[in-house]
Structure 1
Amino acid sequence: MSTRVKTVEVYSITIPRETIYLGEPRPGETVNEKGYIVRKGNRTVYPTSDRTVVVRIETADGAIGWGETYGIVAPGAAMAIVDDLLGPYVVGRDPRDVVVIHEDLYDLMRVRGYTGGFYLDALAAIDIALWDLCGKLSGLPLVKLLGGQRHEKLPAYISGLPKRTRTERAAFAAEWQAKGFSSFKFAAPVADDGIVAEIESLRETLGPSARIACDMHWAHTADQAIAAIRAMEPHRLWFAEAPVKPEDVDGLARVAANITTTVAAGEEWRTVFDLVARVEKRACGIVQPEMGHKGVTEFMRIGQYAQAHHLEVIPHATIGIGLFMAASLHASAALSAVTCHEYQHSIFEPNRRLVTGDMDCREGFYTLPNGPGLGVEPSEEAISLLQQYR
């Protein structure tokens, strides 16, 4: 019997949505022929369907590991990187050398400046699949391979209120509050009456004990962000996420130094090196690793570095079928600095049928899936939707 990798295959899945992510188009926002829409509030492109990239790694003795990464925009880019470059360098390797493989694959392109974007997304999918294999080969859930389970369940916050009006969004948040959720985040680009009016309505509806955060979507200069956050602070803003452009490290630090609210950042980062630069400048108090952009290896490095510098970790959630959602929950449960985890209800709930297992989020808490590795696999329906790279 051999534990060496025999094949690495990559697929895409497209899942239609009833409502476009972040809600229906605003005035001036149109869907193009590729199914993309650009949100005017942050000038960022989104698909009108959920799309994801899935990696399947099989060993010579038939063990299978599954991984997943972002495929919401140009999924063929990440797929080509897996198929043409990364996959062949994984074939023949022992999947139990998962961190070593991650470092080897990262080194392949680091001198060319490929420290982010599609390359690291593709690497994340492979990394997750290898960790899934490690768990299955050992018969252990992923969290046990990462040092042990610190959290039996993880507090979750409601992310996104995809309704058309401010009144409807506040009422929608109240519906989730009635289901046992006490923490919420709204998206500034679709706060049509302004972010101050948005948080004011939410606070009035949800009451004084609810935690309310604002995702500012990298749309401001430092001065604009400071003014906007200060205007929200009388309404007890929980945290301000992504207040300035990702590359503006100095601006992020300036914002953090001039407000009383905690700054959150990190969704778009790919490696621990992104965090090192922000820690040096004391640019944020909450770190938000996103499993689909990082993979298990970098997610844990970021989380442990954050812990060593006494930062809070509130992971970003996923946009996919649930494979890297499961990986995120396992990794989060192993980190003492994790205090909450994003719950993208408009994605998690409709797409949960696409994975097997008992991963769940109810009454304000996530529970980890049971079983070896990730504890989840693509369902029969998901398998039927897989489209192989051509």
Structure 2
Amino acid sequence: MQIADVTAFPTSFPVSARAGERLGIGKVVKRDAVVVRVRTTDGLVGWGESHHARSPGTVGHLVNRTLRDLVVGLDAADTVGVWTTIYTAQLASHGLGAAAAIAMSGIDMALWDIRGKAVGWPVYRLLGGASRPVEAYAGGVALGWSEPGFLVDEVWPLVERGYRAVKLRIGDNPVDDLARISAVRSAFPALQILADANTAYDLEDVRRIAPGLRDQQVGWLEEPFPPHDHRSYAAAARFAGVPLAAGENHYTRFEFHRLIEDGAVSVLQPDLSKSGGLTEVQRIAALASAWKLPLNPHTASTGLNMAATVHLLAATENAGYFEADVSHDNLFRDELVSSSITVRPDGTVLPPEGPGLGVEVDEDFLAAHPVIEGPGFVR
């Protein structure tokens, strides 16, 4: 069962006015993704997702023009061997670094889909897991910088659907951010509130908002700073008083090694479509477990990465939350794939039961939604 072909499909759609959330990284104007298809000589087809990296055409080009030639002809079941081949040619020396990690993630995910289809098992069983419930929080590109009362109105239906935890977008300014958090806390005293600054804070912002985060019992402060700002993370960990979270912009176990050893970040958030795929995030999970740290993966645009993430968490000893996408009008969640992950009344999700990832891709959707060039977020 050899790899016969690899094809990346950069894809986009413009968002509606209500889906154009305003966050620390800007206002959403379109949604992008890179869907990766792998075919085998036995006729099997696997699907995966590479993160768009705010440049979906570039990521797709890297898959189609470079990584494809590295892996065609290799054993499709040898995910470790394929990963090592790409690592040697792109990550170890003179490659494209993070772009290569992102591009290879979609290939790796598609190979796990193929492995499951080859034996008729869902991926969670291949990983050694079971169909166990995974606690979810309401996240995705949602719950942005709204007026506090409007934000409360947005959270109500999520709680009614079963969510017991939500992630609020901060990074605007400490005063307004804390007003939003306080409004949600007042309306939902028992709700677990998580906060994501999308790298928009500096140390003084964290000093100003930290007492309020503690008072409002916020579960974590996510990405207050860019991933390379190790000094600020170390300084904030000494006074913040709430757990710091990061990892969606860290690539491979080698970057997570430092993140863990520094000791400032205690909530790890690798993204399967960015950090190196299922093969690599398994290694990151094992590394985290040695330090008694939970894994709370970041999820990306499409139902492919969402399904893969639940499979992984159902097979991970130190599993934390699944980040459920609750954004408005996400066609990549609702139309691109055959089914979506849904929260149960107890606030948990289950992995899909079909072979492989358990979801299929509508290729007509990909044909109808070619990539839209330009930034997906604007200031």
Q: With structure 2 as the length reference, what TM-score do the two structures score?
A: 0.89
Tell me the CA shift for residue 230 of structure 1.
2.4
Whether 2:285 is the aligned partner of 1:303: answer yes
* Aligned counterpart, 2:223: 242
Whether 2:68 is the aligned partner of 1:87: answer yes
Note if contact 1:213-1:238 (Cα within 8 Å) is conserved in structure 2: yes
Tell me the CA shift for residue 122 of structure 1.
0.6
Stretch of structure 1 that moved more, 110-119 or 45-54: 110-119
* Aligned counterpart, 1:157: 137
Root-mean-square deviation (CA, aligned residues, Å) is 2.4
Whether 2:51 is the aligned partner of 1:70: answer yes
Stretch of structure 1 that moved more, 125-134 or 350-359: 350-359
Q: Distance in 2 between matches of 1:51 and 1:327?
A: 18
Q: Distance in 2 between matches of 1:162 and 1:213?
A: 13
Aligned structure 1 segments of 4 or more residues deviating by more than 6 angstroms: none
Whether 2:355 is the aligned partner of 1:372: answer yes
Q: Distance in 2 between matches of 1:9 and 1:239?
A: 38
* Aligned counterpart, 2:374: none
* Aligned counterpart, 2:301: 319
Greater relative contact order: 1 or 2 (C-alpha under 8 angstroms, separation 6 or more)? 2
Tell me the CA shift for residue 161 of structure 1.
1.4
Q: Distance in 2 between matches of 1:77 and 1:45?
A: 21
Query: What is the number of residues matched between the two proteins?
Result: 367
Note if contact 2:164-2:192 (Cα within 8 Å) is conserved in structure 1: yes
Deviations 1:208-247 (A, max 9, x none): x111111011122334323322232111111111122211
Deviations 1:142-187 (A, max 9, x none): 11111222x6121111123147421100121122112221111111
Tell me the CA shift for residue 352 of structure 1.
2.1
Q: How does 1:126-145 map to 2 (within 5 A)?
A: 126-145=107-126
Q: Distance in 2 between matches of 1:338 and 1:172?
A: 27
Note if contact 2:147-2:180 (Cα within 8 Å) is conserved in structure 1: no
Change (3 A) 1:374 1:251: same
Whether 2:144 is the aligned partner of 1:146: answer no
Q: Distance in 1 between matches of 2:49 and 2:77?
A: 18
Structure 1: 5+ residue stretches without partners? 25-38
Q: How does 1:270-289 map to 2 (within 5 A)?
A: 270-289=251-270
Deviations 1:90-111 (A, max 9, x none): 1111111111111110111234
Change (3 A) 1:348 1:373: farther
Note if contact 1:141-1:372 (Cα within 8 Å) is conserved in structure 2: yes
Note if contact 1:20-1:48 (Cα within 8 Å) is conserved in structure 2: no
Structure 2: 5+ residue stretches without partners? 372-379
Tell me the CA shift for residue 265 of structure 1.
0.9
Q: Distance in 1 between matches of 2:16 and 2:53?
A: 16
* Aligned counterpart, 1:352: 334
Change (3 A) 1:279 1:358: closer
* Aligned counterpart, 1:125: 106
Note if contact 1:21-1:46 (Cα within 8 Å) is conserved in structure 2: no
Give the alignment partner of residue 9 of structure 1, picking from 1, 7, 32: 7
Q: Distance in 2 between matches of 1:121 and 1:46?
A: 23
* Aligned counterpart, 1:29: none
* Aligned counterpart, 1:18: 16
Q: Distance in 2 between matches of 1:154 and 1:291?
A: 17
